[in-house]
Amino acid sequence: MEKKKTAKLMIISALAIVIFGCFVLLPFLVPGQANWIDNLTLAQTVTPFWFNESNGQTTIYDEVVVPIKYGSNQTAEGYLTFTPTEIVSVKNYSGEISYTPDQYTLSGNRISFDISSGLPYIQDEWLDNKNVPAQYQDGSIIPSSYNDGGGTNNGVHVVAENALTRTNHLIVTYKYSSAENQIDFAPQLQVENYPNLMAKLTAAQPIKILIYGDSISVGASASGFVNFPPYLPTWFELIRQYLAQTYYNGDQSKITLNNYSVGGQSSSYGVEQLYKNSFDQSDYDLVIIGFGMNDASLKVNPYLFKSNTATILNQLRSSSPNADFILLGSFTANPKSTFYGLHAEYMSHLADLATTFNLINSQNKSGCTFVNLYDVSMGILSRKQANNPNDTRYQYLDISANYTNHPNDFMVRLYAGCILSTFIDF
């Protein structure tokens, strides 16, 4: 059993597209090519879509939809999270090309088109690493055996950080009925859990933030992180930009952001590095802990994961007693892959830890908040798949940039927005 776990950890580590120690990402600005800020304002980018409600209509900006062409069909189809009452725009992933209503058909939450229309799509077998065109083999494609029902290539899937998994997509801005689509997975505003952070923000005093976790916390796979249009920054960089704009008149130098996350690692590694005192652990105002994706994929016992996370919390709180803490519940791994494991089981343990470590009383002023991205991601997938029961394999690509365990730009934006929404009243 230990050998199997070790082998699987090696696979997960290999899939981490980069291993960084201290890492802070600045947004890419590529002359002559579309950038994320050309499509959306910073506020539109980070505000969770459920706050964009007006007159009974909610606007969702640039939702990612990956149209799939099945077999020899001459049409491709994808599914939105909600049934639109109005389509505002349909564009390619970078936002450079807009498509008109005569080029596609909308039926409920299903968007489809003839492949001769010029809209981007993915052939189903490409995601089984079969007959992948040369232009989509510009980067890492790793064949990996999955428990996915076989697919078209005997169960072999791609794990890709390249054009295949991030260019043949649509981004759709649309409105839907708020009353008919109640959201049951949105994190709640808990500003009372951030007494130290909010005191400094409202006084425009400098703050210091620590990010500590796995590859998702490194920044994988925001398009800016891997240098693809539209070059969206990482979720933590979006948070820094939004806080700078809101509290410091845009002066990002007021926010020190240290990121000691490492791709492919689990909570045990997080404990080990803390005991080695291998990085700066002191004087933080906000600490965001983001382990769990790899633990859950490796099926690390939930109580061991909880114990490791508690150790990390205790150690960092002893070094930064005035910090407020966030525990991230990882978005889901591909439910059809062997990387999907105990993710759902970890959520209650993280929620329990956040309650235990939320020390807001007369003696202590250090908060701890659980932000559940797993429920957000599964809530979106379940709605997309409700009207597509015959195929639930490929729609994970609507929220993932590597078809396995890294968020795409839409999910990166939700990471930033869900975190912010626990202490920012959108």
Summarize pLDDT for 259-280 with one digit per residue, the tens.
Answer: 999 999 999 999 999 999 989 9
Tokens for 357?
């470590």
Confidence of residue 153 (pLDDT cuts 50, 70, 90): low
Is the pLDDT score of 152 beyond 90?
no
Give percent of the chain with pLDDT exceeding 90: 76
Contact predicate 297/332, CB 8 Å: no
Q: d(Cα 146, Cα 148) in Å, to the nearest integer?
A: 5
pLDDT value at position 148? 61
Is the pLDDT score of 173 beyond 60?
yes
99-132 pLDDT, tens per residue? 999 999 999 999 999 999 999 999 998 888 888 8
Specify the higher pLDDT residue, 5 or 37. Answer: 37
Is the pLDDT score of 15 beyond 50?
no
61-99 pLDDT, tens per residue? 999 999 999 999 999 999 999 999 999 999 999 999 999
Domain architecture of the chain: domains with CATH: 2-38+186-420 (3.40.50.1110), 49-121+168-177 (no CATH), 122-165 (no CATH)
pLDDT value at position 393? 81
Q: Which among 215, 212, 193 is positioned nearest to 315, based on CA atoms?
A: 212
Give percent of the chain with pLDDT exceeding 70: 89
Q: d(Cα 242, Cα 44) in Å, to the nearest integer?
A: 11
Model's pTM, two decimal places? 0.93
Q: Which among 187, 184, 182 is positioned nearest to 372, based on CA atoms?
A: 187
pLDDT value at position 28? 38
Q: d(Cα 72, Cα 80) in Å, to the nearest integer?
A: 23
Is the pLDDT score of 29 beyond 60?
no
pLDDT value at position 96? 94
pLDDT value at position 362? 66
pLDDT value at position 5? 46
